[in-house]
Amino acid sequence: MKPAVFAYERPSSLDEALAVLGAHGSDARPLAGGQSLIPMLTLRIARPSLLVDLGRLSELDRVRLDDGVLEIGAMTRQRRIERDTLVREHVPILAEALRFVGHPAIRNRGTIGGSLAHADPSAELPAVALALEAEIIVRNSQGARTIPARDFFLGPFTTALRDDELVVAVRFPTLRAGTGWGIAEIARRHGDFALAGAVAVLERRQDGSCTRAAVALFGVGTRPLRATASEQALVGRPLSTDVLREAAALAVDAIDEPLSDVHGSVSYRRQVTPVVVRRALEAAVQRATA
Amino acid sequence: MQLVAISLTVNGQPVTAEVEPRMTLADFLRDQLGLTGTKLGCEHGICGSCTVLWGGEAVRSCLALAVQADGATITTIEGLAADSTLHPVQQAFWEEHALQCGFCTPGMVLTAVALLQENPEPSEAEIREALSGNLCRCTGYQNIVRAVRVAAERMRSGRGS
């Protein structure tokens, strides 16, 4: 199928874009990279009356380090983030997670703001944002507000964004020296949406005991989920194989509204959740130094 | 009906047109410019047969609107060969029997060209990962992977064929 008719605006500045969105509300959809929205238009799952192309907003395409926080503009292409030296140095898990996002052709156009605003429950970037406790900066024509990742993702393709708001940037706390991190997922083919995935971030002491743990799941619930039971089973304990396995098993407790579709049933996703958590934790332990 | 003026470069030539905003770049290239080398397989971003180069980078033209390509430099499969001299990747595909029906081939070739621009000496695993977004129903991929390796070697040693 081809997309239905829609009106089109191509603002040259953020203020202009916000003014247009403010005037049209829910009838308008912003277009970032289009890698999720355009297929929805083609399949006519989405039928906005107006598309607001953000492609000229170069002010939103940037990566910068700001006092211990890595700030990435919403229109920054995923491929750029994957290769960026600041990202690889300060938030390397972001670069690694992007390897699982679609394929290079998708990432050449897809943006970080678009991925977060789209909030696909099987997507990697929302889970990374949740694990790292990122802050999402949004604006409308009245002003800006900061939404912590834990308050941003509400359900399938549903975020805390209002109709007239745009994500303008994401702020990631940089990883402390010695932090271990890992990401693992199970998908039918490389680049497919995850049937189950986990992001793990660990810090440990000289004696090997865990001082901080963040585990976020994707692909198994209606939104990315923090596996708090797993995290609690790790902090203060030695990061041995048995401890990791025990913590991984507890991750299923986090799945309150399970995801199920033709690609994977509820029971399958539940069964493989501890596997991906364990793999992500093992990778994180390998990378962690005191 | 709203028409938007766009101007872009396609295969080295300047192009100006008026398009409906809902027209995809793929349909613009095929229907308005007559460049039917770019194929429509799934039209929702999975199969890769619509792949073109945008500023030298591989993109899925079914996942771009023509209006977004205003100001862009696009290369389609038709733009690869220099007169009658095939690009090394095309030559290698031919010699290594890396195509049967040929439908996935433009997308495969352009994705390989983009890969080799960034990584002139890819391992087999890297080639397979880079091509994992391009589906082929005929070949089983073996000869495609070999053709990319052969092309990479030739391009590194400065020979076209």
Domain span holding position A29: 7-53
The answer to whether residue A2 sits within a structural domain is: no
Contacts of A110 in chain B (CB under 8 A): none
pLDDT at A92 over 70: yes
Give chain B's end-to-end CA distance (angstroms, integer).
Answer: 50
- Strand runs labelled E in B105-160: none
Task: Classify each residue of A239-275 as buried b or exposed e, where b means 16 or more C-beta atoms within 10 Å of its C-beta.
Answer: beeebbebbbbbbbebbeeebeeebbeeeebbebbbe
Please give the span between the terminal C-alpha atoms of chain A, in angstroms, as a whole number: 55
- pLDDT tier at B29, thresholds 50, 70, 90: very high
φ and ψ of B75, to 5 deg: -120, 125
Residue where one domain finishes, among candidates A115, A146, A173: A173
- How confident is the model over A164-176, as a mean pLDDT? 97
Q: How far is B128 from chain A (nearest CA, A)?
A: 10
DSSP letter, residue A260: -
Q: Where are the alpha helices (DSSP H) in chain A?
A: 14-24, 37-42, 78-83, 85-90, 92-98, 104-107, 112-118, 124-131, 149-152, 228-232, 241-249, 266-287
Residue A11 shares a structural domain with residue A74: no
Among B1, B44, B111, whose Cβ lies nearest the Cβ of A105? B111
A250 and A169 together in one domain: no
Q: Give A267's contacts (C-beta < 8 A, 6+ positions apart).
A: none
Q: Read off the tokens for B28.
A: 């613009």
Average pLDDT over residues A128-154: 98
Report pLDDT for B159. 64
For A87, A108, A118, the CA distances from A78, given in Å and listed in that order, are 11, 6, 14
Task: Decide if A105 and B64 are in contact by the 8 Å CB cutoff.
Answer: no
* Residues A187 and A164 reside in one and the same domain: no
Which pLDDT score is estimated for B161? 47
**Residue A154 maps to a domain:** yes
Question: Are B44 and A43 an interchain contact pair (Cβ–Cβ within 8 Å)?
Answer: yes
Q: Is A89 helix (H, G, I), strand (E, B) or coil?
A: helix
CA–CA separation, B149 and B156 (whole Å): 11
Nearest Cα residue in chain A from B111: A105
Taking residue A168's Cβ as centre, other Cβ atoms within 10 Å add up to 20
Q: What is the ipTM of this complex?
A: 0.95
Residue B3 has which token pair?
């028409």
**CATH code for the domain of A39:** 3.30.43.10
pLDDT tens digits for range A171-195 = 999 999 999 999 999 998 888 889 9
Q: What is the mean pLDDT of residues B121-150?
A: 97
| Same domain flag for A80 and A11 | no
Question: What SS3 class is residue A222?
Answer: coil
Residue A1 lies in a domain: no
Q: Does A69 touch chain B (CB under 8 A)?
A: no
Contact indicator for A164, A243 with CB cutoff of 8 Å: no
CB A116 within 8 A of CB A160: no
For range B69-87, the mean pLDDT: 96
Is it the case that residue A218 has pLDDT exceeding 90?
yes
Backbone angles phi, psi at A198, to 5 degrees: -145, 145
Average pLDDT over residues B118-122: 97
Q: Which of A35, A39, A103 sits opposite B132 (nearest CB)?
A: A103
Q: pLDDT at position B160, please?
A: 53
* Mean per-residue pLDDT, B101-127: 97
Nearest to A191 among B67, B115, B133 (CB): B133
Look at residue A131 and tell me if it is in a domain: yes
For residue range B38-48, what is the model confidence (pLDDT) as tens digits?
A: 999 999 999 99
CB A101 within 8 A of CB A122: no
Q: How far apart are CA A249 and CA A247, in angstroms?
A: 5
Tell me: the pLDDT tens digits for A38-68?
Answer: 999 999 999 999 999 999 999 999 999 999 9
Count residue pairs from A and B with Cβ separation < 8 A.
89
A99-135 exposure pattern, b = at least 16 Cβ within 10 A, e = fewer: ebbbbbbbbbbbbbbbbbbbbbbbbbbbbbbbbbbbb
Going from the C-alpha of A256 to that of each of A197, A222, B62, the distances in angstroms are: 16, 9, 36
Within this chain, do residues A47 and A67 fall inside the same structural domain, yes or no? no
Q: Which residues pair with A135 in a beta bridge?
A: A148, A171
CATH number at residue A105: 3.30.465.10
The answer to whether residues A159 and A246 belong to one domain is: no
Residues A225-255 pLDDT 10s? 999 999 999 999 999 999 999 999 999 999 9
Domain assignment present for A204: yes
pTM of the model: 0.96
List of chain B residues whose C-beta atoms are within 8 Å of the C-beta of residue A79:
57
Distance CA A192, CA A264 (A): 12
User: CB–CB of B44 and A189 under 8 A?
Assistant: no
Structural domains of chain B ordered from first start = 4-79 (3.10.20.30), 88-156 (1.10.150.120)
Give the model's pLDDT for residue A52. 98
Work out the number of other CB atoms within 10 angstroms of the CB of residue A221.
21
State how far the Cα of B81 lies from the Cα of B89, in Å rounded to an integer: 10
B89, pLDDT greater than 70: yes
B87 to chain A, minimum CA–CA distance in Å?
21
Q: How many domains does chain A divide into?
A: 3
Cβ within 8 Å, pair B59-A108:
yes
